[in-house]
Every structure is written in structure tokens, then in C-alpha cells.
Amino acid sequence: MRFGIRVNLGQFLLQLLQVLLVGMTIGMMRTVVPALAETEFGVPRNSFMLLVAFVVAFGFVKGAMNFVAGRIAEEMGRRRVLLLGWLAAMPIPALIYFATSWSWVVFATVLLGINQGLAWSMTQTAKLDFTRADQRGLVIGLNEFSGYLGVALAGVTTGYLASVLGPRQGLFWFGAVVIGLATVLAWHSVVETLPWAQDEVKRHAHPEAHELRPRYPTRVSLRPSTREMFALMSWRDSRMVALCQAGLVEKFVDALVWAIWPVYLHQRGVSLPHIGWIVGVYGFTWGAAQFFTGKLSDRLGRHLLNSWGMWVCGAGVALMPLGDGPVWWTVSAAISGLGMAMLYPNLSAAVADIAHPSWRASAIGIYRFWRDTGYGIGALGLGVAATLGGRLENAFWFVAGAMALSGLALYRWGEETHPRLNPAQ
């Protein structure tokens, strides 16, 4: 087996296209659906808990499917799990088109959570299988750049399509094309990458492979059980705990962007296309900057980028309700996106650094379980904060405070994971 981006460039580009389409699938639900929850889907005004219900459903389902995807990918392989993810997404456009109530939207986001948990996890795991350890920050940065570029593009495109074709028809045709294309490509063009991971396990057994050996957690079986893996990631290894809690809390920001930002901006008279652009700036900045921050972490390390990313992102969130007008909202969205770009690929890269190749997919799956469960927990927190205060602004303060505290916890409990900068003794 040959490892590296260059020698596997064809499959690398195919996997980037897959994650772009995964991002477009979730992106089509992030501008039009929440902004028109009241007028199109019957959600009463100021029903904050009902409004965030679809994000809560998405978060808990996606978190669980990340956990499942990591475990079954060790046995079934990455490609089959990817295909299952696309099969789960097929009914989504029709459910939105024929929706008679908000409950249809909630059910569609349950299927979306299954799709995202299976498909996005596998695009990341597959690329890590056939690339080198010194490329992980770049690989995950490119993966998340492509995915969140898709999210941003879909948000802007569906905003315009909703204005031209109507919200239901625009979302239907956009979703049908994206999901259909992704399924065909996954079936005919993507190859199975599990053999690369198995070959890496064999290479780690040779003494010469130990020169830049990462600081793997100690007292872990070569093929740990699900219970052992969950305990390791959730409370036994302080570094993994620090990374998992940071991943969970940073999803509060994305829950806010998804459920609250479009409503907040719509109530201030911003049109759907302009909402798409403001929210899109967050996604575009996040996506584009990851192209550089992932590679930067391969040179300078992950730990400080992750900690500062939490604080910068939280500052951007706090700025939005403090001012008024499209320019102010766009700048605050860009700051939030920049902070997210600093932390998002590098939290995953840090997990991959100290996860043994024999159980790396499981470790990434459990990290992603905790991270994306943050959608559900964060959305519940947003609903409670907005309901208790009677104002959407309270949701912004809740998220900004959580990001500040989580960044402190990550800085205190975590450590540098890059094997070149902090190798095993």
C-alpha cells in the first residue's frame, strides 16, 4: 500500500467531492427552513423550544450515528457505510416538499442526522486511512473546507431558488440533484480504504516505525471493545476528554447559526438571499480558512490553535447582537467563522494523532458522537435561554459564555498531540 495525498490523488479528490455534497445536503436546510418556520411550516412566533426541535433531533441522531459509523466501519468498511448514509438521505427532499406541519421537518432532519453521521464520518476516516501522519492537519482541513464550502454554497443557492421557484420546490430540486449525484458517485467511483488502515497497523509493529510515535493512551487493548473505547474517550484519558468536551461545546455555535441566526435576521427585515449571504460568510470564512489552519497545525501544533479558536469564535458570537446592520452582522459572522476554522479541523486532527490505527475509526466516531451531540444539547440550551429571557439575544450570550469556559478547560486539560512536537519517550 502507498500512503500520501499525491499517490492517491484521484480518490482524495473524489472524497473531497463527496464531503462537498454532504455539506450541500445539510446546507439546504439552514437558511430557508428556519427563516420560514412560521409562515411556511406553522411554527408560532416566539415558540423557541418548538423552533429548535429540529436541530435537537438532528444533533442527537447524528451524534449516535457517528458512534455507530466508527464501530461498523472497522468491520463493514468505509465505502458501505458511506452508501448507507446516502440511502438514508433520499427521502429528505420529498418530505420537505410535501410537509404539512413542522413535525415533517423534524423527521426529515432525523434522516439528515443519519446521513451526516454516516457519510461525513466516512469521508474523513477514508482520507486519513491513505494519507501520512504528517498530512493529517492538512487532510482534515481540506475535508472540512470542502464540507463547509458546500454548506455555505447551499445556503446561498437555496435562498435564491426559494425566491424564484418557491421554498418547497427550490429545496426539492436542489436536494434531489445533490443526493442523487452523490449516491451515484459513491456507488461507481469510491474505493474501499480499510486495507490501508490494516496495512498501517502492520507497519506500526516494526521497530523503525517508533521514531515519531505519538503519545498513545496507555493500557488499551489492540482491539478494544466498544465499552473500553467509550470509557477511554469519555473519562479515562484526560486529553481525549478535553478534546471531546470542546467538540461538544463548539457545536453550540453551529446550532445557533442554524436555528437562531436566520430567524434573528428575518425579524430584522433581512431578505432570504441576504440572510443566505450573511450566514454564508460564516461558512465561507470557516471553509476557506481551514485550508490554511489545518496545514498550520502540522507545522506549529494543534493545542494553542484549538484553545484560541474557541475564544475567537465565542467573541464573534457575542458581537452579533451588540450592533446593527448588514456590515456589522457580516463582520461578526466572519469572526465566528475564523475561530471555527482554527479549532474545527485541529480538534479532529488531535484525536487522530493519539488514536492507534487499529482503533482510530472508533476513536474518531466517539469524538464525533460527543461533538455532534452538542447540536442537541446546544439547541436545548438555546431554547431554554431564549424562553427564560423572552428574547433571542439571550441565546447568543449562552453560547458565548459556554465557548469561553470550554476553551479554558481545553487549555488546562489538553496538551500538544502532534507526534513531531510531543513524541512518545
Of the listed ranges 6-15, 132-141, 363-372, the least confidently predicted one is: 132-141
Angle at the Cα of 25 from the Cα atoms of 162 and 360, rounded to 5 degrees: 160
Q: Are 126 and 222 in contact (CB under 8 A)?
A: no
Rounded to the nearest integer, the mean pLDDT of the chain is: 90
d(CA 66, CA 369): 5
Q: Does the residue 289 lie in any domain?
A: yes
3-state secondary structure of 273: helix
Q: Residue 408 has what pLDDT?
A: 98
> How far is Cα 79 from Cα 73, in angstroms, rounded to an integer?
8
Q: Which domain holds residue 237?
A: 7-198+224-413
Give a yes or no: residue 301 inside a domain: yes
CA–CA gap between residue 306 and residue 9 (Å, rounded): 28
CATH number of the CATH domain containing 76: 1.20.1250.20
pLDDT, average across residues 273-301: 88
Instruction: Indicate if the pLDDT at residue 132 is higher than 80.
Output: yes
Residues 164-174 have a mean pLDDT of 93
Does 170 reside within a domain?
yes
Category of 131 on φ-ψ map: left (φ > 0), alpha (ψ -120 to 50) or beta? beta
Question: Does the residue 203 lie in any domain?
Answer: no
pLDDT digits (tens, 9 = 90+) for 395-414: 999 999 999 999 999 999 99
pLDDT of residue 66: 87
Q: In this structure, are residues 89 and 111 in contact, taking their beta carbons and an 8 Å threshold?
A: yes
At 206 the pLDDT is 60
CB 258 within 8 A of CB 34: yes
How many domains does the chain fold into?
1
Convert the pLDDT of each residue in 139-157 to its tens digit. 988 998 899 889 889 988 9
Query: If you ran DSSP here, which 8-state letter would residue 45 be given?
Result: T
- Predicted pLDDT of residue 201: 74
- Amino acid code (one letter) for 350: A
Side chain identity, residue 116? Q
Residues 350-366: what's their mean pLDDT?
A: 88
**Distances from the Cα of 18 to the Cαs of 26, 79, 346, in angstroms?**
13, 11, 21
Which pLDDT band holds residue 379 (cuts at 50, 70, 90)? Answer: very high
Q: What is the pLDDT of residue 212?
A: 64
Read off the pLDDT of residues 76-113 as tens digits, 9 standing for 90 and up.
Answer: 899 999 999 999 999 999 999 999 988 999 999 999 99
Radius of gyration of the chain (CA): 20
Q: How far apart are CA 59 and CA 425, in angstroms?
A: 39
Q: Has residue 418 been placed in a domain?
A: no
